[in-house]
Amino acid sequence: MNGRGGVRNLPFDPHGMIFYHLCRADDAPKYLEDGMARSDGRHYVFDRWEDIRVLIAALDAAVSAEPEYVVLVLDLDADMLAIGPIARRRLPPGISPEDVERLQRHSRYPEVDVSAPRIVDVKNAVGDSVRAHFAPREYRRAPVWRFLSYVRPYWRYVAVATAAGLVKFLVPLVFPWMLRVLLDDVVLKRGIDPNVRERTTLYLVLGVLALNLLWMGATYLRSVYAAVAGHRMIRDLRVALFDHVQRLSHSFFLRHQTGAIVSRVVSDISLAQNFVGSALTNVWMDSALLLALIIILFSIHPMMALVSLSLMPIYVLSLRYIGPKIRLSTREVQQRLEVLSGGLHEKVAGVSVVKGFARETQEAQLFATHANKLLNKVLYSVRYTAANEMVVGFVVHSAPVLVVWYGVTQIIAGRMTVGELTQFLLYLGMFYFPLQRLSDLSVVLSNSLAAIDRVFEYFDTQPHVVERPDARSLPDCLGAIMFEHVTFGYEPDNPVLRDVDLTIAPGENVALVGPSGAGKTTFANLVPRFYDPSAGRLLLDGEDLRDLELASLRRHIGIVSQETILFSGTVQENLLLAKPDAGAEEIEAALEAANAREFVEELPEGLWTEIGERGAVLSGGQRQRLALARAFLKNPRILLLDEATSALDSRAERRIQQALARLLKGRTSIVIAHRLSTILNADRIVVLEAGRIVDLGRHAELLARGGLYAQLYHEQFHHVREEQT
């Protein structure tokens, strides 16, 4: 395969295989119910029970191994898995090096989400099934009902569409009746007055034509109203989903790829739309029509009706066995699509890295592999859909043959008229239409339900940081920040900040220094409540942050991060994010204070110059100054600043230093310092090491004390002094 040209097809039928996954017994119910999400991290699987036995033996030998373990038995397609050696730390201690090597050679992990139906059994250490111990957990509201709650505002449209649909489908029922009357009572009957014949024919035809006018109106209303209800509802759902997703915690966005999120909000929701667009109205109409037809068929000729329904069991079986497969395969198509979109987004956003390492060819191959796997999943789902169509088609086309066979014998025996048989066949033809539609519908329904499940997975994700219902707003703020014995970790048993105790007075400028990974960014992120501490608390002006409204808290905090994020739009629009109602003078003043006015004026269209998603036309230093201007415009009491590490030339550096000095003046600030000037001007310097405050004071004192600060100073800052002075 070459990077640009032909893409080789993968073997079409990657057979299902059995894999084993060892997990804590406590985690099993969650997996059995929700499947295994790739956002949880890599779930390593093995295809040989011997490997699992080695793991279990090692766990048994380890004395400290308290938690109980079970083995999930997974039925996976080989192409769902990526090859990757399991981390040594995930293996229990005491495994021989040869075993470790062998386990690492055999371990794989799913690169897509694994849906719950893929977990076919749960085994204990000796290989007996213990699935029965994991009874399904308590009843959870099925997503489809929750989905329907979004239809409620538009029930009037759905009602009109359904009523119009009934008319649309019931009107054609008149035609076979008319034909029977014409055949049996007009054409084939002897001894009728020709005038009566002509008049009867005319009235019947005119009557049916009039009904067809009604049918026209109903058809139009049905399509339009069903579409209006469907699209409005999808709009609501999409807006609600976006609103929900962007309120989720930072950790959600670290675990999920941007492209994968986009895929759910855009592609899954479109799929769900079919549910309202066709399913919701058709189900009722078709059911009503079927009922009407069954009554008609039985009233015409009960025996023949039975003959015509004799093939129905095949249809029902197909619905039962193929339906769930369609639903699973559609879900897996969407899961694959998500992997593809996620990767695509990353690689497009990081295209300079791809080019920098000259990886275009490999990336193209990787993309082709993913596209191939998607294709395979799509073909799977196509096969199930086709199988369903095939079975239903057989029923639809064979039943009339049986009926004709039976009918003809009846006519020959003189027990039935030609008109009656014709009428029956026409009604039977109508009977299988809605049946076929209902079966198509079951496919649409399966697809939509799969998508709806995935959409509601996001709705069920709750932010970790939640606002209390009785949270107070904080109209004014002095800016006194207090860390009270704060301990925090991203994972429960791995604290990143330990027992941090610090009081920052209003207006104080605190510089944060420490080795990389000490927890500086984490420290700063606790102030706007991006995360909540696991122990201890943070206070703003004496109030626990958790008692405050989030929006109100964050209104007082300005954040300037290491990398300036600008959205596509004009310079002005980017500035107005900080304060939507800022006037022209305010913007001018903010730019002036940030030393940015000069370069903005030199842009081709000044403030109205369009900048790319990341401000592509601006230099690093210019972007930093725009970020500072944004902070000036917001004018917060508290400023959190992660100084950019990128070195600027001395003129640009001086401009930024001036702007910073202006910005910090009179505000409480926490600055993660990378500039010499910042630590020299700070009121206090906090030295963090491995999540603890190890020293505290002004530059001269700290330097005199020696220790970590002196060391950091010489490593990180001292050489800067030489460059800058």
Ligand X SMILES: Nc1ncnc2c1ncn2[C@@H]1O[C@H](COP(=O)(O)OP(=O)(O)OP(=O)(O)O)[C@@H](O)[C@H]1O
With CB cut-offs between 5 and 8 Å by kind, which of ligand X, Mg ion, none does residue 327 bind? none
Residue with smaller CB distance to Mg ion, 417 or 521: 521
Angle, helix 155-170 to helix 194-247, in steps of 10 degrees? 150
**What tokens does 400 get?**
């009339």
Q: 638 forms bridges with which residues in the sheet?
A: 557, 668
Stretch that binds Mg ion, among 21-29, 366-374, 415-423, 521-529 (CB under 5 A): 521-529
For the bound state, the minimum distance from the C-beta of residue 525 to ligand X, rounded and expressed in Å, comes to 8
- Phi, psi (rounded to 5 degrees) for 685: -115, 130
- When CB distances are held under 5 to 8 angstroms depending on the partner's kind, the choice from ligand X, Mg ion, none that residue 522 binds is ligand X
Q: Are 641 and 672 in contact (CB under 8 A)?
A: yes
SS3 per-residue string spanning 119-176: EEEEECCCCCECHHHCCCCCCCCCHHHHHHHCCHHHHHHHHHHHHHHHHHHHHHHHHH
Q: Which is nearer to Mg ion, 264 or 520 (CB)?
A: 520
Query: Which of Mg ion, ligand X, none is residue 635 near (CB under 5 to 8 Å by kind)?
Result: none
How far is the C-alpha of 676 from the C-alpha of 657, rounded, in Å? 10
CB closer to ligand X, 309 vs 497: 497
Considering the complex, state which of residue 335 and residue 564 has its C-beta at the smaller distance from ligand X.
564
- The listed partner (ligand X, Mg ion, none) that binds 496, CB under 5 to 8 Å by sort, is ligand X
Q: How far is the CB of 562 from ligand X (least distance, A)?
A: 8
Which distant-in-sequence residues (6+ apart) come within 8 Å of 549 by Cβ?
A: 467, 471, 472, 473, 474
Rounded Cα distance, 422 and 175, in Å: 11
Nearer to Mg ion, 269 or 496 (CB): 496
SS3 assignment, position 467: coil
Nearest Cα to 519, choosing from 638, 639, 642, 411?
Answer: 642
Q: How far is the CB of 627 from Mg ion (least distance, A)?
A: 16
Taking CB within 5 to 8 Å according to partner kind, which of ligand X, Mg ion, none is near residue 135? Answer: none
Q: Residue 529 Cβ, how far from Mg ion at the closest point, in Å?
A: 18
Structure tokens at 662: 């202006």
Token digits of residue 632: 């000036």
For Mg ion, give the closer residue by CB, 269 or 685.
685
> Nearer to ligand X by C-beta: 519 or 615?
519
Q: How far is the CB of 514 from ligand X (least distance, A)?
A: 6
Tell me which residues touch ligand X (CB under 6 A).
254, 490, 496, 514, 516-522
Torsion angles phi and psi, residue 310, rounded to 5: -65, -20
Site string for Mg ion, 479-518 (x = CB under 5 A): ----------------------------------------
In this complex, which beta carbon is closest to ligand X, that of residue 520 or of residue 556? 520
**69-77/16-24 β-pairing:** antiparallel
CA separation for the pair 22, 58 (Å, rounded): 13
Among 124, 521, 561, 681, binds Mg ion (CB under 5 A): 521
Using the minimum distance from each CB to Mg ion, give the nearer residue, 443 or 497. 497
The string of DSSP letters for 211-247 reads: HHHHHHHHHHHHHHHHHHHHHHHHHHHHHHHHHHHHH
Which bin fits 414, alpha (ψ -120 to 50), beta or left (φ > 0)? left
Contacts with Mg ion by CB under 5 A: the residue count is 1
Unique residue bearing structure tokens 């793991």: 55
Question: Given CA atoms 86, 87, 88, 94 in this order, what sign does their dihedral have?
Answer: negative
Task: Give how far Cα 518 sits from Cα of 250, 684, 688, Å.
Answer: 19, 18, 6
| Residue (176 or 514) nearer to ligand X, CB | 514
- Minimum CB separation of residue 114 from Mg ion in Å reads 34
The least distance separating ligand X from the CB of residue 653, rounded to whole angstroms, comes to 20
**CA angle at 269 for the pair 266 and 274, rounded to the nearest 5°:** 130
CB 134, CB 32: distance < 8 Å: yes
Closest CB 312 distance from ligand X, rounded Å: 57
Cα-flanking dihedrals φ and ψ of residue 493, to 5°? -100, 25
The letter for the amino acid at 231 is H
Nearer to ligand X, 407 or 514 (CB): 514
Rg (CA), the chain: 35
> For residue 23, how far is the Cα from the chain centroid?
25
517 binds, among ligand X, Mg ion, none (CB under 5 to 8 A by kind): ligand X
- Encoded amino acid at 674, one letter: H
Q: Which is nearer to ligand X, 436 or 521 (CB)?
A: 521
The C-alpha atoms of residue 125 and residue 604 are separated, in whole angstroms, by 71
Q: Which of 51, 643 has the CB closer to ligand X?
A: 643
Is the torsion defined by CA of 408, 410, 414, 415 positive or negative? Answer: negative
The residue whose Cβ lies closest to Mg ion is: 521
> Closer CB to Mg ion, residue 111 or residue 642?
642
Nearest approach in angstroms of CB 548 to Mg ion is: 25
Minimum CB distance to ligand X, residue 494 (Å)? 8
Closest contact distance (angstroms) between CB of 524 and ligand X is 8
Q: How far apart are CA 454 and CA 448, in angstroms?
A: 10
The yes or no reply on residue 525 touching Mg ion (CB under 5 A) is: no
CB of 716 to Mg ion, least distance (A): 13
- Smallest gap from Cβ 493 to ligand X, in A, equals 12
Is-contact 230 276, C-beta < 8 A?
A: yes
Q: Least distance to Mg ion from the beta carbon of 563, Å?
A: 11
> Could you tell me if 296 and 174 are in contact, meaning their C-beta atoms sit under 8 angstroms apart?
no
Residue 308: closest CA among 295, 322, 297:
297
Nearer to Mg ion, 381 or 716 (CB): 716
Nearer to ligand X, 203 or 253 (CB): 253
Least distance from ligand X to the Cβ atom of residue 513, Å: 9
Nearest to 599 by CA among 623, 616, 583: 623
In the complex, the smallest distance separating the C-beta of residue 496 from ligand X, rounded to whole angstroms, is 4
d(CA 162, CA 171): 14
Q: What residue 516 binds from ligand X, Mg ion, none (CB within 5 to 8 A, per partner kind)?
A: ligand X
Binds 490, which of ligand X, Mg ion, none (CB < 5 to 8 A, cut-off by type)? Answer: ligand X
Instruction: Give me the residues that bind Mg ion (CB under 5 A), please.
Output: 521
